[in-house]
Amino acid sequence: MSAALDTHGKAHDGHDDHGDHGHHTPTGFMRWVTTTNHKDIGTMYLWFSFAMFLFGGAMAMIIRAELFQPGMQIVTPEFFNSMTTYHGLVMVFGAIMPAFVGFANWQIPMMIGAPDMAFPRMNNWSFWLLPPAAILLVASFLVPGGGAGVGWTMYAPLTTQMGPGMDLTIFAVHILGMSSIMGSINIITTILNLRAPGMTLMKMPLFVWTWLITAYLLVASMPVLAGAVTMTLTDRHFGTSFFNAAGGGDPVLYQHIFWFFGHPEVYIIAIPAFGVVSQVIPAFSRKPLFGYASMVYATSSIAILSFMVWAHHMYVVGMPVAGQLYFMYATMLIAVPTGVKVFNWVATMWKGSLTFETPMLFALGFLFLFTLGGFTGLVLAMTVVDVQLQDTYYVVAHFHYVMVAGALFSAFAGVYFWFPKWTGKMYDETLGKWHFWLSIIFFNVTFFVQHFLGLAGMPRRIPDYALQFTEFNQISSIGAFGFGLSQVFFLYIIIKAIRSGEKAPQLPWDGADTLEWTHLPTPAPYHTFENPPTVK
Amino acid sequence: MSAADAIVNANRLLLRKLLVVSVLMFGFAFALVPFYEKICEVAGLRDIFRSDEVAAKNTQVDMSRSVLVEFDSNTQRLAWTFRPLALGLAAHPGAVMQVEYEVRNTLDRPVTGQAVPSYGPQRAAQYFRKLECFCFQQQTLAPGEVRRMPVVFVIDPDLPKDIGTITLSYTFFEVAGTQKRPG
Ligand code: HEM
Ligand SMILES: [Cu+2]
d(CA A245, CA A458): 30
Give the confidence band of A353 by pLDDT, cuts at 50, 70, 90: very high
Phi, psi (deg, nearest 5) at residue B120: -130, 130
**pLDDT at residue A17 in the model:** 41
Mutational test site, ligand 1, from A87, A327, A380, A410, max ligand atoms within 8 Å of CB = A380
d(CA A340, CA A351): 19
Position in ligand 1 atom list of the atom nearest CA A312: 35
Q: Is B171 exposed, middle or buried (0-12, 13-18, 19+ CB in 10 A)?
A: buried
Query: Is the C-beta atom of A91 inside 6 A of ligand 1?
Result: no
**Cβ(A258)–Cβ(A228) below 8 Å:** yes
**Cβ(A185)–Cβ(A219) below 8 Å:** yes
Looking at residue A306, the DSSP 8-state letter turns out to be: T
Share of chain A above pLDDT 90, in %: 88
**pLDDT at residue A475 in the model:** 97
For residue B118, report the distance from its CA to the centre of ligand 2, in Å: 29
Chain A segment 116-135 residues within 8 A of B by beta carbon are 118-119
CA A170 to chain centre: 20
Query: Is the C-beta atom of A334 inside 6 A of ligand 1?
Result: yes
**pLDDT at residue A161 in the model:** 85
Nearest chain B residue to A228 by CA distance is B29
Which range has the worst mean pLDDT, A372-381, A402-411, A485-494, B63-72?
B63-72
- What tens digit of pLDDT does each residue of A21-47 get? 445 677 788 889 999 999 999 999 999
Task: Kindly give the parts of chain B with pLDDT less than 50.
Answer: 56, 180-183
Phi, psi (deg, nearest 5) at residue A161: -110, -5
Report, as an integer, the average pLDDT of A126-137. 97
Chain A segment 303-342 residues within 8 A of B by beta carbon are 318, 320
Hey, are the CB atoms on B174 and A246 less than 8 Å from each other? Answer: yes
**pLDDT at residue A24 in the model:** 60
Instruction: Check residues A517 and B49 and name the one with the higher pLDDT.
Output: A517
Q: What CA–CA distances, in Å, run from B174 to A172, A258, A265?
A: 30, 26, 36
Hey, are the CB atoms on B25 and A220 less than 8 Å from each other? Answer: yes
Q: What is the mean pLDDT of chain A?
A: 93
Residue A280: closest CA among A272, A53, A216, A529: A272
Q: DSSP assignment of chain B, as one string?
A: --HHHHHHHHHHHHHHHHHHHHHHHHHHHHHHHHHHHHHHHHHT---TTSPPP--GGGGS--TT--EEEEEEEEEES--EEEEESSSEEEE-TT-EEEEEEEEEE-SSS-EEEEEEEEEESGGGGGGEEEEEEGGGS-EEE-TT-EEEEEEEEEE-TTS-TT--EEEEEEEEEEPTT-PPPP-
A chain contacts of residue B50, beta-carbon cutoff 8 Å: none
User: Hey, is A254 helix, strand or coil?
Assistant: helix
d(CA A71, CA A3): 48
Q: Domain extents for chain A?
A: 39-518
User: Hey, is A374 helix, strand or coil?
Assistant: helix
Bond preceding residue A505 cis, omega within 30 of 0: no
Position in ligand 1 atom list of the atom nearest CA A338: 27
Hey, are the CB atoms on B14 and A192 less than 8 Å from each other? Answer: yes
Residue A161: closest CA among A177, A172, A175, A145: A145
- What tens digit of pLDDT does each residue of A429-476 get? 999 999 999 999 999 999 999 999 999 999 999 999 999 999 999 999
Query: Is the C-beta atom of A380 inside 6 A of ligand 1?
Result: yes
d(CA A129, CA B67): 60
**pLDDT at residue A436 in the model:** 98
Q: Is B40 exposed, middle or buried (0-12, 13-18, 19+ CB in 10 A)?
A: middle
**pLDDT at residue B48 in the model:** 60
Is residue A313 annotated as part of the catalytic site, yes or no? yes
Give the confidence band of A3 by pLDDT, cuts at 50, 70, 90: very low
Q: How many CB pairs under 8 A join A and B?
A: 98
- What tens digit of pLDDT does each residue of A259-312 get? 999 999 999 999 999 999 999 999 999 999 999 999 999 999 999 999 999 999
Q: What is the greatest pairwise CA distance in chain B?
A: 92
**pLDDT at residue B1 in the model:** 59
**Cβ(A39)–Cβ(A3) below 8 Å:** yes
* Partners of residue B149 on adjacent β-strands: B101
Report, as an integer, the average pLDDT of A55-83. 96
Hey, are the CB atoms on A244 and B46 less than 8 Å from each other? Answer: no
**pLDDT at residue B46 in the model:** 64
**Cβ(B125)–Cβ(B156) below 8 Å:** no
Looking at residue A198, the DSSP 8-state letter turns out to be: T
Report, as an integer, the average pLDDT of A202-225. 97
Looking at residue A199, the DSSP 8-state letter turns out to be: -
- What tens digit of pLDDT does each residue of A136-167 get? 999 999 998 889 999 999 998 899 888 899 99
Q: Is A46 exposed, middle or buried (0-12, 13-18, 19+ CB in 10 A)?
A: buried
**pLDDT at residue B61 in the model:** 84
**pLDDT at residue B177 in the model:** 56
Report, as an integer, the average pLDDT of A199-218. 97
Nearest chain A residue to B36 by CA distance is A253
Report, as an integer, the average pLDDT of A66-92. 95
Catalytic member of A195, A236, A341, A425: A341
Nearest chain B residue to A322 by CA distance is B43
Give the confidence band of A180 by pLDDT, cuts at 50, 70, 90: very high
* Shortest alpha-carbon distance between residue B45 and chain A (Å): 9
Query: Is the C-beta atom of A153 inside 6 A of ligand 1?
Result: yes
B chain contacts of residue A256, beta-carbon cutoff 8 Å: 32, 36
Q: Tell whether A257 lies on the interface with B, counting CB pairs under 8 A.
A: yes
A39-518: what fold?
Answer: Cytochrome C Oxidase; Chain A (1.20.210)
**pLDDT at residue A28 in the model:** 80
**pLDDT at residue A157 in the model:** 87
Hey, are the CB atoms on A256 and B177 less than 8 Å from each other? Answer: no
Q: Domain extents for chain B?
A: 1-50, 54-174
B54-174: what fold?
Answer: Ctag/Cox11 (Pfam 04442) (2.60.370)
Nearest chain A residue to B28 by CA distance is A224
Chain B segment 12-41 residues within 8 A of A by beta carbon are 14-15, 18-19, 21-30, 32-33, 36, 40
Report, as an integer, the average pLDDT of A355-375. 97
Hey, are the CB atoms on A188 and B11 less than 8 Å from each other? Answer: no
- List the Cα angle A325/A330/A334 in 5-degree steps: 145
Hey, are the CB atoms on A231 and B7 less than 8 Å from each other? Answer: no
